[in-house]
Amino acid sequence: MSAKKIAIIGGGNLGSAIAQGLLKSGFSKAGDITVTKRNTSTLKELREAGVRIETDNDIAIREAEIIVVALKPYNVREVLQEFRGSFDPAKHILISVVTGVSIDDLEHVVPGMPVVRAMPNTAIAIQESITCIAHKHATEEQIRYIKTMFDQLGATVSIDEKLMDAATVLGACGIAYALRYIRANIQGGIEIGFDVRTASLIAAQTVKGAAELLIRENRHPEEEIDKVTTPKGCTIAGLNEMEHQGFSSSLIKGITASYNKIVKD
Ligand SMILES: NC(=O)C1=CN([C@@H]2O[C@H](COP(=O)(O)OP(=O)(O)OC[C@H]3O[C@@H](n4cnc5c(N)ncnc54)[C@H](O)[C@@H]3O)[C@@H](O)[C@H]2O)C=CC1
Ligand SMILES: O=C(O)[C@@H]1CCC=N1
């Protein structure tokens, strides 16, 4: 599969993370990646790594083959509308990572361009994203290319577009939920005697180990929990207290609150 030139329109948190992942994975050479932003001062590290930094979206789009749109939901239509003339359906593949804006909406703004929606998370910077992909009119060949690209940046799963908002919550917002869980563990760890660095390492590596048990061994969480909960032991005492305080319930309510925020906005 020959390497294609990639333009990332909107070099903010996610756009920059995608560029970092592309570089780290070796999927793209630095010179084949262009990142656009109006104020480019925050993109110093990418520039130093050889990534092309542009303020002109027209140039970036025309010179690339893959266009990743990483703009905010409130200005994506306006910006794409402005640059609709820069797109060439015979040359370009358009990928939107924008939350809550449908394929139909975007294809309406840029007529003739099939749009693929992708929902990665910020761990894409270190090739550890889960990226959900949905499409309607893209060709098999285009989808194969996009999947190969995101496979280099973590794991990918193809979903129906109607699940894209749910994917945003579980996968993209999920990074923040998981980090807050780890932070709470660090706070607890300090209270029971660890310094912050040691508590952070133990908490983060423990979460990584738990996740790997599910991913690598394909286990169900409760099967693994059963192995830890010694009868009359400290694990079940702690777990039950967490549940009395609404642990699982608070997470489920948080997930549905995030979801409702997307679908009601
Ligand atoms: N941050 C995250 O973890 C995730 C974000 N998303 C979605 O990705 C999109 C981007 O999110 P973030 O990176 O967090 O937002 P952000 O605000 O950090 O990035 C957007 C960037 O677009 C730039 N921009 C605005 N107008 C522009 C223009 N005309 N041309 C070029 N650049 C322009 C802004 O300066 C900003 O740097 C949003 O739609 C968000 O919902 C999706 C998954 C995860
Ligand atoms: O909070 C947000 O709206 C975006 C979407 C997913 C992650 N960040």
Question: 8, 9, 13, 109: which to mutate for ligand 1, most atoms within 8 A of CB?
Answer: 13
Whether residue 69 contacts residue 101, with contact meaning beta carbons closer than 8 Å, is answered with no
CA of 92 to the centre of ligand 2 (A): 26
The mean per-residue pLDDT over the stretch 129-143 comes to: 96
The mean per-residue pLDDT over the stretch 196-213 comes to: 98
Pocket flag, ligand 1, residue 172 (CB < 6 Å): yes
The C-alpha R_g of the chain, in whole angstroms, comes to 21
The mean per-residue pLDDT over the stretch 107-124 comes to: 97
Q: How far apart are CA 20 and CA 22, in angstroms?
A: 5
The mean per-residue pLDDT over the stretch 11-19 comes to: 98
Pocket flag, ligand 1, residue 72 (CB < 6 Å): yes
Q: How far apart are CA 155 and CA 105, in angstroms?
A: 27
Whether residue 77 contacts residue 101, with contact meaning beta carbons closer than 8 Å, is answered with yes
Q: What is the pLDDT of residues 150-167, one digit of tens each?
A: 999 999 999 999 999 999
Question: 34, 72, 261: which to mutate for ligand 1, most atoms within 8 A of CB?
Answer: 72
Instruction: List the CATH code of the domain at 6-159.
Output: 3.40.50.720
CA of 173 to the centre of ligand 2 (A): 6
Q: Which residues line ligand 2 (CB under 6 A)?
A: 99, 168, 172-173
pLDDT of 2 > 80? The answer is no
Percent above pLDDT 70 for the chain? 99
pLDDT at position 214, please?
96
Whether residue 165 contacts residue 262, with contact meaning beta carbons closer than 8 Å, is answered with yes
Backbone angles phi, psi at 254, to 5 degrees: -65, -45
User: 168-264: which CATH topology?
Assistant: ProC C-terminal domain-like fold (1.10.3730)
Element (H, E) at 52: strand 52-54
pLDDT of 213 > 90? The answer is yes
Return the C-alpha torsion angle 39, 150, 160, 169, nearest 10.
-60
CA of 16 to the centre of ligand 2 (A): 15
pLDDT of 230 > 80? The answer is yes
pLDDT of 16 > 90? The answer is yes
Q: For the chain, give every domain's residue range.
A: 6-159, 168-264
Per the prediction, the chain carries an average pLDDT of 97
| Binding site members | 9-14, 57, 70-73
Q: What is the pLDDT of residues 36-77, one digit of tens each?
A: 999 999 999 999 999 999 999 999 999 999 999 999 999 999
pLDDT at position 265, please?
81
pLDDT at position 3, please?
82
pLDDT of 205 > 90? The answer is yes
SS3 content of the chain, % helix, strand, coil (to 5): 60, 15, 30
pLDDT at position 1, please?
65
Bridge partners (DSSP) of residue 156 are: 131
